[in-house]
Structures are given as C-alpha cells and as structure tokens.
Amino acid sequence: MTFPSKHGVDDMVMLSSVSNSNINSNLEKRFEKDIIYTYIGHVLISVNPFRMIPGLYDEQTLFDYRGKFRFEMPPHVYATADDMYRSMLSNEEAQCVIISGESGAGKTEASKKILQYIACVSGRAADVARVKDMILDSNPLLEAFGNAKTIRNNNSSRFGKYMEIQFDRSGDPKGGRITNYLLEKSRVTFQTPSERCFHVFYQLLKGASAQLKDELRLQSPDYYFYINQGGCYDVDGINDVEEYNDTIQAMNTLQFSATEQQEIWRLLSSILWLGNIDYVEDDSDKADVANGDTLEMFAYMFQSDPMTVRSALLSRTITTGAARRGSTYAVPLNKADAYVSRDALAKALYSRMFDYIVRRVNESLGWVSGLGPEVIGVLDIYGFEIFEENGFEQLCINYVNEKLQQIFINLTLKEEQEEYAREGIEWEPINFFNNKICCDLIESRRNPIGIFTLLDDTCNFPQGTDEKFLQKSQEQHAGHNHFSGRGDTFVIKHYAGDVEYSIHGMLGKNRDTLFNDLIDLCQCTNSTIIPSMFPEDTRSKKRPTTASFKIRESIGILVDALSLCHPHYIRCIKPNDKKAAKNFNTNRVLHQVKYLGLEENVKVRRAGYAYRQVYDKFLYRYAICCDKTWPVDPWVGRFKEGTIAILESLGLQGKKPFSAGNSKVFIRAPETIFNLEELRERKTYIYAVRIQRFFLKQAREAINYRLKKSANDVVRGKKDRRRLSLERSYFGDYINYSENFTLKAVVGKDIKVHFADVVNRVDRKGKKARRIFLITDMDIVVVMLGKNKDKATRRANPFAYTIVQRIPLQNIPQITFSTLADNFFHIKNSDTMAGWDFILENPKKVEIISTLLTVFPNMSINFSDSFSAVLKRRKKPITFTFMPNPSAPEDGLLKGKRITVPPGIGKDAYPTLREPEQATHTRTEYNRPGGNNPPPSRAGPPGGGPPSRGGPPPRGGPPSRGGPPGGVPARGGPPSRGGPPGGAPARGPPSGIPARGGPPPSAQRGPPGGPGRSGPPPTSPGRTPGRLPPRPSGSGRQLPTPGGAGGPPPGGFRLPFA
C-alpha cells in the first residue's frame, strides 16, 4: 500500500515503468511540491531542500508518526526512526541506520532528526531525561569541533561518527557511545578559497565574552593565518555567536568542568597563535623564528617555556645505533621543514583534542554493561567527494563510501538473491553492479596488491617517494578496468564516478608522523589536559601505524558492528551544487540515481519479498492472531504448519502473497506484517482487559453498589418502577465498546467512555431509529451506524459509524424522565443553534442517571409526564405526553405524540442492596468447586501461547492505527472481535446491535432455553464453550459456561492462558 499522491508515488516500487529517468522524474515532481521523502520499499530516499519546509519537523508532525506503521503515513525520516525503535523493542534486536550520500546531501540533518525523534518518544524519568539531553547535546558539540563550511556544504561533517544508544526493555535510553573516524585534520592548517576551518574557531572569536577574549589575547578571524586562507568568515544560515552559546550549553550538559572548558579554549587559542609563527633561513639553511613575540604568545597559551618551544620547532632529535653505543643528535631544520613541523604539531593538537572531547562525551553518556541487545546505531559519515584537486583525504573518504555501498549492495541485492536460492524460492536473477572490485582495488593485501598496501610499503622505505608509489601502482594495476595513471595523478573508477587523485604529499599524510621532540613538548606542558592526549612512549622503537592502516582497521570494526544489527537505509540526494532552494538539476540528480543503484533496488523490491522470518520466531510472535494456533496450548504441529495456518487465516489476495522456504517464510507485501502487528496488539489488549476485569470483580461490585444506591435514591418516590429493571446488574459497556476499535477511532481514542449501549431515538414524526448512546467524561455522544458512502472501502466495509451529535455536559441543563414505568427520557440541549434535543428509549435509564451523576454531579434530573423537545435544529418544540393505560404493551406504546404506559410495581419500589464487605486479605483460595478462577500458571500473554516479546505495554490503551475499520487488514485479514463495521456481514447491521424494536443482546439475560433466548448462547468463531470465564461486572455479553448460567463448573474455570 502506498499513499496516493498528486505528485508522483510515495513508494517507487509502484512506478508503472521502472527506469532511471522515471525515478528521476518522480523525485522531481515531489521535490517541486516540497515532498522530499520517498520510499523504495524499506529504503528512504531524501532530497535536500536547502531550506526549512514549514511543518515538516514540528512537534505535531513528530507525534503524528509516533506509534504508526510505515504504511499509515507518508514517507518521512520520523517513520524510519519509529520503525527502528519499535523493531528494537518488539524483536529484541539491535538496529542501525546507514545514512549515505554525497557531501551536502543532508546526512547530518537526517541523523539529528532520528535522534530527536527517539529522544521524544522515550521515557520522561529524571535519569532518562539526563541521558536524552546528553545524546541531543552531543550533536552541537561535535558539530562545532568536527564540521566546517566547504564549497559544497555549509555544514559539512569532516569526520565520521557512529553513535550507539542503549535502551532498557521499556524503551528508555540508559547510555551510549560514539565512535569517530578520520577527522580531516589537514583543514586545521589549510583551506581552499571560499571555505572555512572548523566552526569552533569562528564561534570562539565571535562569541567569547570580553573577559575571555582578553585572557586568550584573541583577535579578529582575518588576523590568524590558519583560518584566513579561505577568505570566508561568515556563512549564510549560521550564527556563530548563537552556536558558541549552544556549544557552551552542550559542554555543561555533558559535564565538562569549568577547568576543562577553559583548557580547551586556551588550546584553540594556542593553535591559532602557532599558525602565525613565521620562519627565516640563514646562509647555512638553518631556520629561525622570525617573530619571537608570536612564539612567546603561543608558549604562554600552551603553558610551556618559550625556549623549549623554540627548540622543539626548530630541530629534530635523531638517535643512531642501539643501546649503550647509540648516539643522539639535535639536527636543525631548514625553513621548509620547520613549517612542516609547525603544521604537524597544530594538526596533532587539534586531532588529539577532538579525540579527547569524544572520549569525555562517552564517559558522560556511559555504556552500561550487561544490558540486552536493545541498541540503536546511527551512522553519519562523510559523503563521497570529488573536487578539482583530490588528495589522500578524498581517497580515504571515498574508500569509506565504497565500503558502505558494498554493505548496501550485499544486504539489499546480492544476499537477498542468494537467500532466495538457498531457501528454494523461485526467483529471476537481476543484474547489478557489485563494487567489490573497487574495494579490493584500494584495500586488498594481495592478488593484486591494493593501493593502501602499496602506499604502506612505499612508506616503509626511507627513500620512498610519491613518484615511486605511483610507479608501483601503475605496475600492479596495469590493465585494471577501474584504475589508470595520468602523469603525477591516478584515476579510480568509483561507483559514484571517476575521481582523479594527486600523489603530491600522499606519503607524508599516510605516515602521519609526529616527531618525538613535539611529543615531548606536549607531554611537558603545564596544561591539565594536553599531556593526557599524548600517552606515547618516545623511547619505543616500534614503528607507528599509518593513516591508511588505521582507517582500514576502524572501518573493518564498523562493518562488523553494522553486520550485528538489523539495517535501515537513508539514501540522501543533492539536487544541485549551488546549495540553492527550489533548484532541481535533472542531470545532477540522475547521476546520483544511477550510481546509487536505485533502479536495481526498485527491481529487486518489485520482484522479491518484503519480509522474511524463520518459522519458530514467526509462530512465536503471531500465534495469537489465528484461532488455529491460539489458544491451543501448546501448538502441537510443526512451526512451518502453524506459520502457514496463520497466513492463510488472513485471506491474503494477489499472486503468491507468501512463500514457504526451507527454513523461513517469505511475505511479499509489508502491509501483511503491518496488519498482523495491529491484530496482535488488539488481541493482546483484549485479553489483558478481560483478565483485568475478572480480577477486579470485587472492586466493580463496590462501584456497582454506589452507582445503584445513588440512582435509586434519586428515582425513589418519583417514578414508577419496572420489575425487570429493579434488580438488574450494572455493566456500563453493553456493546463491547472497549474492543470496538473502529468506533473508538470515530469517538476519540483517548476518550474515557463510562456508558455505552444501543438506544431508540424518537424523531419529530414519532418514529424510532436505532442509535449508539455514549456517556464520556465531557459529553454525551450519539452515533449512527449506516451505509458506508465511501466507494473505495464500501465493498470491504459496507457499514460505517457517524457521529450524529456530541453534546457537552455543561450544555445539558436537565434530563427529564416521566413518572410512569416507561423507558423514555428527554435530553435538553441549551445550544439549539448548533444542536437539538433528544428523546431516547433505553431500559437502563436508572443506570444512565447514576453514570451522569458520577461524571457530572451538578446534572439536573427532572420528572414530568410531558416532554417539550426541539428535535431538529431551529425548529419549534414538539410536546410528547405520557398517559397510563393498563392494556398497553410492557414497554409502552408510542403513537404519534402520545405514549401510553402500563402500570409498574410502584414508585417506592427499591432494589435489595447489600454493601460489599471490605477485603481483609489479598490471597484467594483457588481450584475449589465453585471458587475463584486459578491464577496464570506461567508468565506470558493471555491466550496460552509463548510469552510476548512485543516491547513495553501500551500506555493508555492501544493506539489507533488509522487502518481499515474494525481492524480488517488491507489484504482481507480477519476482523477484530467486538463488532466493528469491517466484521459485519455483507447485508444487515452487525450483530452488536439488535434488530429494530428488540432489546440489545445484553438485555437477553435468561438461561439457555429461557426467556429472551431460544437456544444455547452464541460463541466466538473457533472457540470452545467454556474456555473463557463468564464476563464479570463491567462487560457487555454473558459468555457461556460449561455448568450453565448458574455458576462455575467443578474445579473452577480455566483462564485463556491457563
């Protein structure tokens, strides 16, 4: 099922013709109308609008998606977040979302919206709120230190981040951790024109207080060499002063002490001053500092001695020999090497500071050991990059994107087709591009040797150069379809396009060497945090690992972590390179559609199955949905047979809606699972309510006593009583309203209903019509069940509920009853401009009085043998009169405007009321003849099947899903119990409402074969009489019992799950 849209289709699986151009056209149609989200099955496609769309992420939208199945709402990132959250709780399985796309496609925003949604829908306890605040505030903190403006994106992530959030079984976050990948530290010392360094530098220089600026000797941004090379100091849509304040708040939330914060700002200032140190060179090529005052300022901020700083920046210590025979020399640096040493220190300081911040964030979040598998991971990592000049950083970034693309291909295309073959499912293979060849080209260790391995080998030789690396690469990959050399560059044919990489500086960036002199300088500073950032042993002879080795190792760990989770995907698309709103570059988007493999994704989705699960888990979860598998205890058939029985009971339509594999069941349409989940929730809720009613019987008796006494006190001496109504029990719900989800959706899912029954409404002509009468906390509601006028759903649901009028209780000045033994009453509506009066007939009039006085104690109850009622808006009142007539029928006779009533048993008749005794103990004897029902024999959901793994119990009752009336699945599943329209027969009204003129089923309370019944009571389809206990006070229908209507059978009743 997809939502019908005037602007393309919500799910591109539903495209009439699948091609890259049609996919592109569908995205463009939706983009033009600010519809930026589209599905391909379970994959979410997001097109960056480069502006805020009103109402797209407001609080109401967030709550609209809460607890909804994906098919119920239009595509949205909130739907993906809710799917992850619900799946984690119901399946007890870790979830992750992989957000991919080019730089500037909107990946960071998508990750923030997911975290925002999860924080909103989880618990509200104090400790939970603390963890949620930390999770949310970690974003602005890491963005300040890890994001920067590039020519493609004003808020580009220059690092990779994988955030994992731990939850308990109730769905509340308890801890988390962040893993960061490959910070682009070269940006600290260099930016291309129109780009900026990391945001935090500009935040500090613009947002710091005057006192802090004075302490750190801060100048304007254009004063510092490290951040003025791009010539860009302000960014549209970014307020550096406000974001500085957000960064401070985030630090406070994440428990950074005032000393830590001061040390971090001081370190940032020292990096800025370090970049302003210049050098001169003497005749012997020895470098010296040209501006000693700047060096002294750096030393002051760095909290170190100026002479020590000068020595570390101008010389390099070299040790020759070994052990006692070794010699140590201080080799002076030339001007070029001095600049390299200065920049290496700046990059190391910033990179280590970023790692320190991430480590401190993780300490504050806390990773709780021993929790279950309830984890949600959000991967936000740099997108694929192609610049005019691409170097080592772009090679690493694009390699990571190749690995993520490989995960997507393996899980959505390759493994899916292989699984169909293993399970014996008929399948027509679909060709797709497998980028494993690109990944092997970069990372392979042999046959052929990958680029990273060749780079490491060249770095191991003292005389290794960038040129020798390129020569080795050309020799190793000569004739490779995805590699070619061009002068001092080489080209890799990536999945996203051809990228030309410059070899200049590749070896130096891969070595990532920080000389021991600079490490010693950092370890000897008086700062409280810098020494902890450099734990290296400078005396060790072990060769440090290279940057390419580190990125391969960390990405390998990331891939392993993602493989342990159930993946969700968000594919972000950049509509143009100008960062302009309302600008859809067709060729630019078409290129992304092609290399992301969306066409192949749609084809696999159309040809395959949306859901698959092993048989035992499927039966374990959905056995409650089918009478053949529930409440059978235990299920004696094979798991496969039970699974097939459940699916066949839904009456699924279409060509092969499911297939039974060797070990798994494959279901084609996701709506089938959505409907099973909805049916499961309703069944579980129904059983839980029945159990609650049974065990609350004593409390209900006390309530009944108070209700009966208050109402009969009002009526006594004022109205003639009927014999049948005097001693009757009060149930409140006579139409099974609590289980009629369709009616609840019409009335309002969160509205408490105290009384529900069928009444006869009298119109202006004196004719009767059946209506449903409800008393809520706030109003009286009259509902009509009539023919469904919606052509789209009329065949499946021939009847539909419509609210005739909702009258607030404060608008009812009085309710009038006659003094005779009839069943009529008059509801006066003071707002005759918006509504009208009602004259209704119902035998439970005294219970109605008691309910009204309970919810609205100020209600005026009058008694008169003349009703003057306005029965139609803006019409004159009509008077109905009551007259005694001994020969009139028992229920009275309405003829025209006159009602004749036979005599009753007197106005002073009063029921026999016995005040219930207060319970003196809570333990009850079970399993004795005629005694109470036994308790459940084991933990588990009601009904006799395996325990539910469905997550936390619903809060305030099951949420309304907005699906077909009565819980009827879209594909013809069974109607939910309780008489919603969807479960009604094709002709005639549902069985929950009696035939015209007769009393409702709840009034027919005689024993089998006695008055009011012509035979044994009806039972639910597929249920054996006696499986459920008699419905206690508060229910509408009397369930059958093996021992007849007189009491429980010997040995007690058997609960549904006993």
**Among all residues, which ones are annotated catalytic?**
103-104, 108, 153, 156-157, 383, 385
Eight-class DSSP state of 830: S
Q: How many other C-beta atoms can be found within 10 angstroms of the C-beta atom of residue 247?
A: 24
Angle between helices 20-32 and 598-607 (to 10 degrees): 100
> Would you call 246 helix, strand, or coil by DSSP?
helix
Which helix H or strand E contains 499, and what residues bound it? strand 497-502
Q: What is the C-alpha separation between 453 and 442, in angstroms, rounded? A: 8
Q: What is the C-alpha separation between 989 and 1036, in angstroms, rounded? A: 18
**DSSP letters along 839-868, please?**
EEE-TTHHHHHHHHHHH-TT--EEE-SEEE
Strands 173-181 and 160-167: antiparallel
Pair of tokens at residue 850: 């008691």
Q: How many other C-beta atoms can be found within 10 angstroms of the C-beta atom of residue 545?
A: 12
Pair of tokens at residue 428: 């027509």
Do 567 and 468 form a contact (C-beta atoms < 8 A)?
no
Q: Measuring CA to CA, how many Å separate 67 from each of 267, 378, 549, 674?
A: 46, 20, 44, 12
> Would you call 837 helix, strand, or coil by DSSP?
coil
Beta strand extents in 870-988 (DSSP E only): 878-884, 893-895, 898-901
Q: What is the C-alpha separation between 512 and 493, in angstroms, rounded? A: 26
> Would you call 284 helix, strand, or coil by DSSP?
coil
* N-term to C-term CA, the chain: 39
Q: Measuring CA to CA, how many Å separate 477 from each of 102, 454, 472, 490, 735?
A: 27, 11, 9, 11, 77
- Could you give the residue ranges of the DSSP H alpha helices within 230-334? 240-253, 258-275, 292-302, 306-314
Burial of 558 (0-12, 13-18, 19+ CB in 10 A): buried
Q: What is the C-alpha separation between 801 and 807, in angstroms, rounded? A: 17
Do 64 and 82 form a contact (C-beta atoms < 8 A)?
no
Pair of tokens at residue 11: 């799910």
Q: What is the C-alpha separation between 812 and 830, in angstroms, rounded? A: 6
Q: How many other C-beta atoms can be found within 10 angstroms of the C-beta atom of residue 328?
A: 9
Q: What is the C-alpha separation between 734 and 754, in angstroms, rounded? A: 11
Nearest to 707 by CA among 1033, 1036, 999, 1039: 1033
Eight-class DSSP state of 318: E
> Would you call 709 helix, strand, or coil by DSSP?
helix
